[in-house]
Structure 1
Amino acid sequence: MRFMQLIPAVAVVGFQEAMQWKFGPLGIACLVLLGIGLKARSTTCTTVGAVVLVLLMTQA
């Protein structure tokens, strides 16, 4: 049962490392904003994180 809980945690850490490698600290900041916005149900925070992340992805 603990193995099934470990898989999403490893996936999240791997995704964060990939984002930091490709987009730098700004990519991590966008993910943090996106995560905080989703947990707090703040559309402003979620939208800002998503828009900046999309802008980073279109530049690369």
Structure 2
Amino acid sequence: MPVFALALAAAVIGFERLVEWQFGALGAIGFVLLSVGVKAKNVTCSCIGAVVLTMLIV
């Protein structure tokens, strides 16, 4: 189980670095808002993060 958690954490950090490299600091903020909203089951926070990432992609 600890190996799975470590691999999952490494994948999340790698994806966050990819988003930050591709979309800058605002992309990282959007990704953090989205993941915190999903983890905390806060719809408002996750929607704001999703909108930020969508606006950066468009």
TM-score range, shorter chain: 0.7 to 0.9
Gaps of 5+ in 2: none
Runs of 4+ aligned structure 1 residues displaced above 2 Å come to 1-5
**2:13 corresponding residue in structure 1:** 13
Q: Structure 2 length as normaliser, TM-score? A: 0.84
RMSD of equivalent CA atoms: 1.3
Residue 40 of structure 1: CA displacement?
Answer: 2.2
Equivalenced residue count is 58
Write the deviation string for residues 3-53 of structure 1: whole angstroms up to 9, x where unpaired: 222211111111011011011110110011112211222111111100110
Q: Structure 1 length as normaliser, TM-score? A: 0.81
Which has the greater radius of gyration?
1
Answering whether residue 37 of structure 2 is matched by residue 37 of structure 1, we say: yes
Mapped to 2, the partners of 1:5 and 1:18 lie a distance apart of 20
Mapped to 1, the partners of 2:29 and 2:49 lie a distance apart of 8
Residue 6 of structure 1 aligns to which amino acid in structure 2?
Answer: L
